């Protein structure tokens, strides 16, 4: 049998200063672009979508995946920010937005990342790709493998910088997914928040293509893109009061349209949703162990849980704790032994594994003998 505990979690104290609001609908007419999505960055919950799975080119928003792989390589120690990257003839041949790298020119990884993020430099993106994987083709293969692992079923990458190329497609949904993956590397915000900077010892000025940095409260990034086939695109990230949002707009008719649509999406999210933190520490009790060297095992979950809910509806969140009445030995630390889920009405809004916090050996002749010997030594 399993013990299921249902309790309503009341947040009246936390919410008393917030007026009760129902989520106001955002009509498709308010978003002029053909495809868009608003996602909660903490949970991945979709808060609004319009043709979110339509496959479309996304121009330089492609670099979100490029930067994700670069940041992974940095975090793993494969490459370092002070490593020197030498520009290949292939990287130097890129058109569109670039920093005019010349074959053989050298820059640090730090400067190449800065150029890719701030100036949306196609040549710098390719130089980074080659530095990480040896060739752009091998890097693009890794991009597609990463996309597959993230469940980005609408996406096929043909290059690492987003220049128009047949078969190079994604969707607003998939852009949000890979944007959420990139911002897990918080160091990226050191670059996406830059408005103006310099390269080549001050000789080259770069200005951020994301104009929301100058106009939107709480904006943290992320990436713009424009080509003839893709139109004007943006993945915009912003945070207020612990609520982190990702707004994606694809195929806008102009740069002005994409920024307006992204701001409208973010405004909708911040006006209608809030992030609540619930402590779970006091909810968990040890579970008895049958046939173990200990009578029970401690269990654990995240110290806190972040839930994004419609404003004013936090008091309606219900918690379901599902753990067994007992566990058979042996038990290993990290074993999943149950679950903790949260729901609002009929919808589950978060779920977390409950794990064993320690090892419990199975009773055996040898283990009992060892325990007796240890007891005798202590006497």
Asked if 339 contacts 354 with a C-beta cutoff of 8 angstroms, the reply is yes
Check if 351 is active-site: no
Asked if 342 contacts 348 with a C-beta cutoff of 8 angstroms, the reply is yes
Distance CA 62, CA 159 (A): 8
What token pair was written down for 317? 């969140």
Indicate the helix (H) or strand (E) that contains 138. helix 136-149
Pairing of strands 46-50, 273-279: unpaired
Count Cα atoms within 13 angstroms, Cβ side, for 218. Answer: 17
Report DSSP state, residue 157: -
Distance CA 205, CA 182 (A): 25
Among the options 33, 50, 63, 171, which is catalytic?
Answer: 63
What are the backbone dihedrals phi and psi of residue 302, each rounded to the nearest 5 degrees, phi first?
-55, 145
Q: Name every residue whose Cβ is closer than 8 Å to that of residue 7 and which is 6 or more positions away in sequence.
A: 318, 319, 321
Q: Name every residue whose Cβ is closer than 8 Å to that of residue 79 and which is 6 or more positions away in sequence.
A: 70, 73, 109, 131, 132
Question: How many residues are given for the chain?
Answer: 379
- Of 121, 107, 135, the residue nearest 67 (C-alpha): 121
Distance CA 166, CA 157 (A): 10
Among the options 33, 88, 97, 120, which is catalytic?
Answer: 120
> Could you check whether the bond before residue 330 is cis, i.e. omega within 30 degrees of 0?
yes
Alpha carbon distance, N-terminus to C-terminus of the chain:
41
What are the backbone dihedrals phi and psi of residue 238, each rounded to the nearest 5 degrees, phi first?
-150, 155
Check if 63 is active-site: yes
Among the options 60, 88, 97, 171, which is catalytic?
Answer: 60
Check if 60 is active-site: yes
For residue 107, the SS3 value is: strand
Catalytic site positions: 60, 63, 120
């Amino acid at each position: 049998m399993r013990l299921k505990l249902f309790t309503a979690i009341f947040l009246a104290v936390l919410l008393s200063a917030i007026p009760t609001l129902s989520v106001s609908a955002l009509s498709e007419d308010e978003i002029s672009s053909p495809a868009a999505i608003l996602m909660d960055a903490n949970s991945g919950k979709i808060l609004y979508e319009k043709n979110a799975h339509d496959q479309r080119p996304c121009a330089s928003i492609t670099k979100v995946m490029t930067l994700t792989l670069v940041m992974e390589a940095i975090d793993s120690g494969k490459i370092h920010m002070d490593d020197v990257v030498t520009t290949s003839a292939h990287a130097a041949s890129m058109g569109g937005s670039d920093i005019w790298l010349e074959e053989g020119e050298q820059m640090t990884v730090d400067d190449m990342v800065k150029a890719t993020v701030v100036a949306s430099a196609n040549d710098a993106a390719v130089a980074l790709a080659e530095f990480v994987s040896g060739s752009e083709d091998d890097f693009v293969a890794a991009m597609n493998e990463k996309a597959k692992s993230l469940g980005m079923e609408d996406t096929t990458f043909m290059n690492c910088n987003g220049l128009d190329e047949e078969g190079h497609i994604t969707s607003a949904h998939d852009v949000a997914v890979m944007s959420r993956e990139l911002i897990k590397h918080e160091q990226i915000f050191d670059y996406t928040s830059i408005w103006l900077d310099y390269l080549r010892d001050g000789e080259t000025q770069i200005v951020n293509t994301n104009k929301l940095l100058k106009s939107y409260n709480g904006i943290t990034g992320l990436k713009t893109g424009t080509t003839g086939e893709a139109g004007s695109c943006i993945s915009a990230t912003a945070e207020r009061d612990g609520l982190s949002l990702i707004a994606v707009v694809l195929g806008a008719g102009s740069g002005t349209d994409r920024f307006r649509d992204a701001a409208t999406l973010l405004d909708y999210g911040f006006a209608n949703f809030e992030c609540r933190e619930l402590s779970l520490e006091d909810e968990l009790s040890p579970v008895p162990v049958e046939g173990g060297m200990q009578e029970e095992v401690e269990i654990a979950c995240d110290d806190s849980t972040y839930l994004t809910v419609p404003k004013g509806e936090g008091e309606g969140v219900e918690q379901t704790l599902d753990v067994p009445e007992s566990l058979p030995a042996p038990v290993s630390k990290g074993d999943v032994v149950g679950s903790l889920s949260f729901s609002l009405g009929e919808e589950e809004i978060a779920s977390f594994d409950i794990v064993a916090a320690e090892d419990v050996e199975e009773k055996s002749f040898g283990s009992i003998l060892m325990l007796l010997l240890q007891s005798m030594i202590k006497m």
